[in-house]
Amino acid sequence: MKLNVWALIIGIFFIAGCNQKIKNSITSFGAIADGKTNNAVAIQRLIDKVSANGGGQVIIPPGNFVTGTIYLKSGVDLHLAAGACLLGSTDRKDYKNEGAGLIEAKNQTNISISGSGVIDGRAQELMLDILQKLRSGEIIQDNMWRVKRPGEGVRTVILAIDYCTNVTVSGITLKNSSGWVQNYTECTNLIIDGITVQSTAYWNNDGIDITDCKKVRITNCFINSADDGICLKSSNPNSGCEDVYIDSCKIRSSASAFKMGTASSGGFRNIKVRNLEIYDTYRSAIAIESVDGGVVENIDIQNIVARNTGNAIFIKRGKRNISRKVGTLKGIYIANVKVEVPLNKPDQGYPVEGPPDHLKPGIDKMPKRPGSFHIYGHPWLPYNLIPSSIVGLPGYPVENVTIENVEISYGGRSSKEIAYIPLNAITSVPENESNYPEFSMFGELPSWGFYVRHAEGIKMKNVKVFYLEDDFRPALVFDDVKGVALENFTVPKAIELPVALFNNTTGIALKNLKFPVSEEKGVMITNYK
């Protein structure tokens, strides 16, 4: 008898829980899973009610639910059940703001998006509508869209989470954004775990953008994006990204895989990155940039494996923002890294490729575009493969960088007919201090392994660089550097000497160099101006 009573009680609670879940399903508020009806009003009504009642789940059940912009409110967990698909409207009028998100939150607390369902921005269909509205004049924008693409203010993101505290995004799949996939601005206590980003349908599809956020944890994510994979940004000079931990993510990118910058107004402090697997990535596996006046310091990156990636490491201190002082870039530790840099363009064949800014003649096979003045779809640009680089500005060095336990292979096959910088012209490499910072920003570089310029306190220990096909350039070039320590540095082969060139460089400490020739023959110290 007692057992039956307990069974009855448990059954009552079970039914009550089921009823609560049913009540919190968007279908109970009139949402229709027909793949056509805009359900934004129904979804928003339920979000508002749950938040007003102290919080809880808003459930997207299995089915295809279309929506325009919806606003997540405090205490609400937007839960996408298995089989649920939230489809972005393909009519730009259904997105409320400039640069709107499909899901937005501002100044909210204790919010989350969870489950195993999908949020699909339907970028290609939405962009057809946006372009039609631009042509008709219904949307007015700078005419740059006629020669390039509609700007970020016209296109949309999937998640736009601003000024929120205690935010969790877990389990879901985000796909096909017309702009950045997700951007979190000035949030505190942000967790992103176990999500999938599959967004190569249009340009500027950054996988995850973290802007001026504090106490961030990004783990166990898969990202395939048509722009930067995971990108830390700082747009507020009085803020910055701080206390960020990234671990166990797999990234494919048509730009850089992990990047800090280019927006770097406030800067980045206390950043730890662990265990990234990177593949088929057009630009850098690791990019660290301070070009807008911010402070970049205490950066710790370890355990990175990158296959078929255009560049291994790019570290740049610059001055893109001419109205502000030069920012700082110091205290960088990069260890346990293995990168394969191929001869050919590493992201070719993906739906949206990176631009051809370091292609060799003969690589680009795209057909001629209507109205193009090029023989093929892209111009030929005369660059040999570009090395990893650590570059500051005259009087504003990159400071205290340690590179340890790193192996980088290069495709090689350089040619003096493509481009050539004689060693006595080593200082002719342009500064390009205000240019957009990318590993290819200097054009041809005089080395194939590492290029270090305007730096101080550079340590490289247990590092190996090698090429698969011959490269005539030195493996290492240091120009205007104070304090260089190389220990157990391996370069297996050189077809021309020197292996390492130190120009206008002081405080050189070399220990156990493993060059194909003696240190006396393999190292050149010069003072070219």
Tokens 């350039």 map to which residue?
Answer: 473
Domains, the chain, in order of start with CATH, read 56-526 (2.160.20.10)
Non-local CB neighbours of 94 within 8 Å, separated by 6+ positions: 38, 40, 67, 68, 69
529/515 Cα distance (integer angstroms): 27
SS3 128: helix
Residue 287 CB: number of other CB atoms within 10 A? Answer: 24
Phi, psi of 330 (to 5 degrees): -155, 160
Angle (CA) 400-517-479 rounded to 5° is: 30
Tokens of 26: 């968007």
Tokens of 456: 């101080």
pLDDT tens by residue, the chain, 529 residues: 444 544 443 343 333 343 444 469 999 999 999 999 999 999 999 999 999 999 999 999 999 999 999 999 999 999 999 999 999 999 999 998 777 899 999 999 999 999 999 999 999 999 999 999 999 999 988 788 888 889 888 999 999 999 999 999 999 999 999 999 999 999 999 999 999 999 999 989 999 999 999 999 999 999 999 999 999 999 999 999 999 999 999 999 999 999 999 899 999 999 999 999 999 999 999 999 999 999 999 999 999 999 999 999 999 999 998 788 999 999 999 999 999 999 888 998 899 988 765 544 444 444 444 443 333 334 445 678 999 999 999 999 999 999 999 999 999 999 998 889 999 999 999 999 888 999 999 988 999 999 999 999 999 999 999 999 999 999 999 999 999 999 999 999 999 999 999 999 999 999 999 999 999 999 999 999 9
Cβ pair 388, 449 in contact under 8 A: yes
Tokens of 347: 């992201």
306/317 Cα distance (integer angstroms): 24
Pairing, β 398-410 against β 388-391: unpaired
From residue 281, alpha-carbon distances to 220, 367, 404 in Å are: 19, 23, 23
Cβ pair 308, 279 in contact under 8 A: yes
